[in-house]
Structure formats: structure tokens, C-alpha cells
Amino acid sequence: MEIAMVTGASSGMGKEFVKQLSGMGGLDQIWVAARREERLKGLAREVGTPLRIFACDLTQPAGIGEVKAALSAERPHIRYLANCSGFAKFGAFDAISEADSLAMIDLNVRALVQMTLAAVPYMESGGHILEIASTAAFQPLPDMNIYAATKAFVLSYSRALNREIGKRGVTVTAVCPGWTKTEFFDVAKKDADAGAVRNFLFPSLPQNVVARALKDAQKGRELSVYGIFNKLHLFFAKILPASSVMTLWDAMK
Ligand SMILES: NC(=O)c1ccc[n+]([C@@H]2O[C@H](COP(=O)([O-])OP(=O)(O)OC[C@H]3O[C@@H](n4cnc5c(N)ncnc54)[C@H](OP(=O)(O)O)[C@@H]3O)[C@@H](O)[C@H]2O)c1
């Protein structure tokens, strides 16, 4: 059985990955994970490929456990893994609760690594892993400090993993979107310091970010950055000291 696995499929970029992967054809099933089951059921009615739904919290051992058990029972051939579950909170270190601070690390880092390790044994040459990082990975970000640090982890982890399992013909692409029109902002502002970050310059559409990411993965690229503004961001983050980029961020955010 040929499958794709997509976390965070109930909205935003994860949902878009499911639609575009289904549109490409050739998959028997797409396995989708997120907490909101009704959303996943709604998506199953929208796309042509059958979805297998895992309505679970991926920060909880039972969530990942359910996916691992299904993998070992069905032993599918995974062609694509897109790890899109993730969230941010806006605000300084003392404006975000400890629970939210740790949950960002648990979901953006721990669950992403767990899903990757769970999937790799079922991937063969020609398989693609897409890890959703962010342009936040390019430098530290005051008022998004933990979020940016989790995404720096994802970027570093993905690039090194790509070298390691590239030898088996599996590619790992770190997808680094800038601001993208999804529910990300509702979550980032809720129970946080909503005004800490106000300017969301040049937002992208999720369908464009995902189309670019899938093309980059198929070309075996280790990095996918959609849009000229985000490419310029990467360029300046490479040539300027991190302290200067943080000063620019503080002036623009
Ligand atoms: N939008 C942006 O501006 C932007 C920019 C750069 C990077 N990103 C990254 O892109 C990825 C996708 O975000 P998005 O923009 O598409 O935002 P989104 O629309 O809010 O989607 C986030 C997804 O994560 C899932 N999720 C949240 N908590 C979860 C949990 N505990 N267990 C399982 N799933 C969980 C949500 O589903 P449920 O709530 O149903 O669980 C949802 O499907 C994230 O990693 C985000 O950090 C976003």
C-alpha cells in the first residue's frame, strides 16, 4: 500500500498538502493526524484519495503510539511525510505560560522527530520527508523566542538528516515559509501578548508554499523557501550578524 502521511492536516498548510498530494494521484491512502476530528472528516469528503484519520494530540504518547501501531500493523510504503503540526505564541518570555512554552517544544520539535523516526523504516528510495520549519529558523526572534528556537532545531535537524538518509534515496526538505495566511495567527495571539508582533509583511498563500515545497522535495532540495521577500530574508540573515537581524526584526515586528 502506497501512502502519504500528513500531520496538522486539519487546517492551513497541512490541509493544503493533503489536497495537493491527493491531486497528484498514485496514493492508496493519505494518513492524516490532528486533534480536530470533524475537520479531518470534512477534508476526507473533499479529496479523492481515501484518508485514514488519526484524531490525536501528537504531544501525548498515546497520539504517536496510535500512528506507530497502525504502521507496524499495516506496514505501508510511505512516499511522503509532511510534518505540519506546529504552533507559535507571540509575546515575551514572561507573557507566555510555561505550559504553552513547553508545548511548543513538545509539538514543534519532539513530535516532529518522533513522527520522522516512526516513518523512516517504511520509506524507500524515492520517498520524501518535508519538515515544516520557518523563516523564524534563520535567526533568534525576540517575542517569539521559543518558537524561533524550535524552528532553528527543525532546520538544522532536517539538513543533517537529509545528508544521512539521502544515501538511501530518501530526501528531507526543510520548508521555511514566511508569514502565510492560515489559522497560525489565531493560535499565536490567543492567551498570549497579541500585540507583541503586529506587522505581517508580504503574507503568502498556503497553496503556493505547498506547491513550491512539493516541487523542491521532488528535486531533492534540502531547503524550500517560497517568495522573493523570504528569499531576501534568508540572504540577509546569512550575511548580517544575528544581532543586526534581531534589531531589524524589533523595528519591523
Ligand atoms: N502560517 C505562518 O505564517 C507560518 C509561517 C512559518 C511556519 N509555519 C509553520 O507551518 C506549520 C503549519 O502551520 P499553519 O500555518 O498551517 O497553521 P495552522 O493552520 O494553525 O495549522 C496548524 C496545525 O497543527 C495542528 N496541531 C496543533 N496542535 C497539535 C497537537 N497538539 N497535535 C496534533 N496536531 C496539532 C492543528 O490541528 P488541530 O488544532 O486540529 O490539532 C493544525 O492542523 C507549523 O509548523 C507552523 O509553525 C507557519
210-240 pLDDT tens trace: 999 999 999 999 999 999 999 999 999 999 9
Helices (H), the chain: 12-24, 37-46, 61-74, 98-105, 112-119, 145-166, 184-189, 206-218, 228-239, 242-252
Q: Give CA–CA dist 251/246, Å, rounded.
A: 9
Q: What pLDDT score does 191 carry? A: 85
Average pLDDT over residues 89-94: 94
What would the grid cell of residue 23 be?
A: 491531486
Which of 106, 180, 201 most suits a substitution to test ligand 1, by most atoms within 8 Å of the C-beta? 180
CA of 67 to the centre of ligand 1 (A): 18
CA of 191 to the centre of ligand 1 (A): 16
Ligand 1 pocket check for 197: Cβ under 6 Å: no
pLDDT digit string, tens, across residues 6-23? 999 999 999 999 999 999
Q: What pLDDT score does 196 carry? A: 86
Which of 7, 35, 210 most suits a substitution to test ligand 1, by most atoms within 8 Å of the C-beta? 35
Ligand 1 pocket check for 85: Cβ under 6 Å: yes
Which amino acid residue places its CA nearest to atom 17 of ligand 1? 184
Q: Taking a C-beta distance cutoff of 8 angstroms, is the pair 176, 134 a contact? A: yes
CA geometry: angle at 23 spanning 76 and 129, to 5°? 45
The residue with cell 481515501 is 50
